[in-house]
Chain A
Amino acid sequence: EVRLVESGGGLVQPGGSLRLSCATSGFAVNSNYMSWVRQAPGKGLEWVSVIFSDGSTYYADSVKGRFTISRHNSKNTLYLQMNSLRTEDTAVYYCGRELRGGGMDVWGQGTTVTISS
């Protein structure tokens, strides 16, 4: 069964750091595009970042220079390192498997990040 499970969310003060994890099962994390999407409370979906199978990465302008997407192939896990966190980063963060040309067909359940003093 293909499955994604996020972890690592929590309450952090502004300026702090957090690393989110997305454990995958049923497929190889490095054989697909893998993405992060977030949703602030009461707001719409916001695309955050993607890592391609060749290791290329892209970021939303709102997180560029502060967030880093990566993966550990042998652990089959995707990560999102978040630094210099701001109150506007408060959101539920979802990871997703993206089939090129086929959309994000599998999603995790989400992990909640709260940035507050």
Chain B
Amino acid sequence: AIQMTQSPSSLSASVGDRVTITCRASQGIRNDLEWYQQKPGKAPKLLIYAASSLQTGVPSRFSGSGSGTDFTLTISSLQPEDFATYYCLQDYNYPGTFGQGTKVEIK
């Protein structure tokens, strides 16, 4: 199975900060990568699909980039509602695999 290595595992940031989270795949996955946001006790929410396409209704401060093995989720200006845990998921082939998650906390 493809391994997804996500970093950092956690970060502290302030409102207004630019935040970057990365995922690295153990082999090339084209652009078959998604980013999800999860808040405590809630189901995950799709933010980005196909590595860089913004899901309908998601604020434009979220963006994704990358192809092949290296991918990035960027939040251009962190807002209070963005404090959550973020996961990448590859579905280039199955079984699908999530990254370990990045918890974004308030500094």
A interface residue numbers (CB < 8 A to B): 35, 37, 44-47, 50, 58-61, 94, 98-99, 101-105, 107-110
Contact = CB atoms under 8 A, between A and B. Distances in A.
Most buried by A among B49, B53, B91: B91
Nearest to B49: A103
A27 to B, nearest CB: 15
Interface of B: 1, 32, 34, 36, 38, 43-46, 48-50, 53, 55, 85, 87, 89, 91, 94-101
Nearest to B93: A58
Main secondary structure of the interface of A (DSSP, over half): strand
A58 B95 contact: yes
A107 B44 contact: yes
Most buried by B among A45, A58, A99, A110: A45
B95 A47 contact: yes
B25 to A, nearest CB: 14
Given A45-B87, A47-B97, A50-B94, A103 B34 contact: yes
Nearest to A4: B43
27 contacts: A44-B98, A44-B101, A45-B44, A45-B89, A45-B98, A45-B101, A46-B98, A47-B95, A47-B96, A58-B94, A58-B95, A60-B95, A61-B1, A94-B44, A98-B91, A103-B34, A103-B36, A103-B46, A103-B48, A103-B91, A104-B46, A105-B55, A107-B44, A107-B45, A108-B43, A109-B43, A110-B43
